[in-house]
Chain A
Amino acid sequence: MTSIIKVDTIQTAAGGTPTASSLGISGTIGQVVQATTTTSTTSTSTSFATTNFSASITPTSTSSKILIQCSIHVNILNNTNDYAEAEYKIYRNGSSLDSSGRRIGGYAPRGNGSTQLRYTTYPSFTLLDSPASTSSLTYELYFRTVNNSNENNILSDGSRPSSITLMEVLA
């Protein structure tokens, strides 16, 4: 026996548009978007600059939150000494997620007395954003070298993937 319920619109008892909370589904995942890249991007700048690696999502409600998960491949190089430092941030539509300037992670590996350093790692970061928007949102990874132009900060390297995953958390 097959039963079918068809409706065009679900409303609250008062006739309004229900929220995720009023439907009892607050906190659930509404959608998932993932972007991956193996394109090599290098920075020698001590100012935060885009990696040109991003993912976009359009929330269905202004009350939704966006859970951002980054898993990236990083090479940190210094061709003149054994010290290098790299830092990372997430920008939303061109603005840093944290107005106080906080970063989501930093790396300052050292060699041990050599004249060069090459350090490879796969860091992961998780952030929760409250954009209060139903427009398309682009989350982009920015990075910088901390000390001087002798340092190279490389995202992926042409073969090793980095990923950004966005999840809309309904509220």
Chain B
Amino acid sequence: MAITRLIAPSITGLTIPNTSINNASLDSVTALPSGIPTGKVLQVQHGTYGTQNSISTTSATASGLSVSITPTSSSNKILVMGNLAGCRMYANTYMSVWLYRQINGGGYSSIRKFENGFGYLQGETETLSKSFYYQDTPNTTNQVDYQIYFSYNGSGDSVAINIDSQEWSTITAMEIAS
């Protein structure tokens, strides 16, 4: 976004022709005045996933719930939040939940583990929803992909998300100016 700087006591009743404004001459502006606050939300991206995904592996597995965002500045932060719906933990099982990130298609890696023992109830099956929040600083202006990963733990059959394929799991990424 171009930054325009005007220095004048006042401008009244004056029209500036388009041809007189040259954004290219403003490239030397590298910082905003201190009066402009940080912390503003610059963009919001949203993803949903509603397909049942059942696993019985103890390895972190891509859930299918993902969102992509391209920061406008490498110093900006990304607030990631959402809800993993219809989490089914069969008897004597529990779920681990991670947030994974990949930058510029370079492959996913874990940046935060949200849960290590979600939904365990001895001898009984449970269905719950898991909400999550994380503020990331990816230090890039390339596309950043976030995806929830999960795994099975325990001695029962399996764990699943969107258990009835009638739920919406959601994930939202907000770019915060800083």
A residues in contact (CB < 8 Å) with B: 1-6, 13, 24, 26-29, 65, 67, 69, 82, 85, 98, 101-112, 121, 123-128, 167, 169
Query: A98: which B residues are within 8 A, CB to CB?
Result: 168
Q: Is the CB of B168 within 8 A of A112?
A: no
- Nearest residue (CB) in B for A102 is B168
Q: Is the CB of A2 within 8 A of B168?
A: no
Task: Name the one of B8, B50, B167 contacting A106, with C-beta atoms under 8 angstroms.
Answer: B167
Q: Is the CB of B126 within 8 A of A67?
A: no
Task: Name the one of B18, B128, B172 contacting A128, with C-beta atoms under 8 angstroms.
Answer: B172
- Nearest residue (CB) in B for A107 is B128
Task: Name the one of A102, A109, A125 contacting B131, with C-beta atoms under 8 angstroms.
Answer: A125
B residues in contact (CB < 8 Å) with A: 1, 6-12, 18, 40-46, 50, 81-83, 85-86, 121-129, 131, 164, 166-168, 170-172, 175
Query: A169: which B residues are within 8 A, CB to CB?
Result: 44
Contact status of A13 and B18, CB under 8 A, knowing A3-B9, A102-B166, A125-B83: yes
Q: Is the CB of B43 within 8 A of A3?
A: no
Contact status of A5 and B6, CB under 8 A, knowing A107-B127, A111-B124: yes
Query: A124: which B residues are within 8 A, CB to CB?
Result: 81, 83, 131
Query: Complex: how many Å from CA A67 to CA B67?
Result: 15
Nearest Cβ on chain A to B56's Cβ, whole angstroms: 20
Contact status of A4 and B10, CB under 8 A, knowing A104-B167, A105-B85: yes
Query: Complex: how many Å from CA A2 to CA B175?
Result: 32
Query: A112: which B residues are within 8 A, CB to CB?
Result: 121-124
Q: Is the CB of B127 within 8 A of A108?
A: yes
Contact status of A104 and B168, CB under 8 A, knowing A110-B121, A110-B126, A128-B46: yes
Nearest Cβ on chain B to A105's Cβ, whole angstroms: 4
Q: Is the CB of B168 within 8 A of A103?
A: yes
What are 7 A-B interface contacts by the 8 Å CB criterion?
A3-B9, A5-B6, A26-B43, A29-B44, A105-B86, A106-B129, A110-B126
- Nearest residue (CB) in A for B170 is A126
Query: Complex: how many Å from CA A103 to CA B127?
Result: 14
Nearest Cβ on chain B to A85's Cβ, whole angstroms: 7
Q: Is the CB of B86 within 8 A of A2?
A: no
Query: Complex: how many Å from CA A128 to CA B51?
Result: 18
Query: A104: which B residues are within 8 A, CB to CB?
Result: 83, 85, 167-168, 170
Known: A29-B44, A67-B44, A104-B170. 15 other contacts (CB 8 A): A3-B6, A27-B45, A28-B43, A29-B40, A65-B44, A85-B127, A101-B166, A104-B83, A104-B85, A104-B168, A108-B126, A110-B125, A125-B131, A128-B44, A128-B172
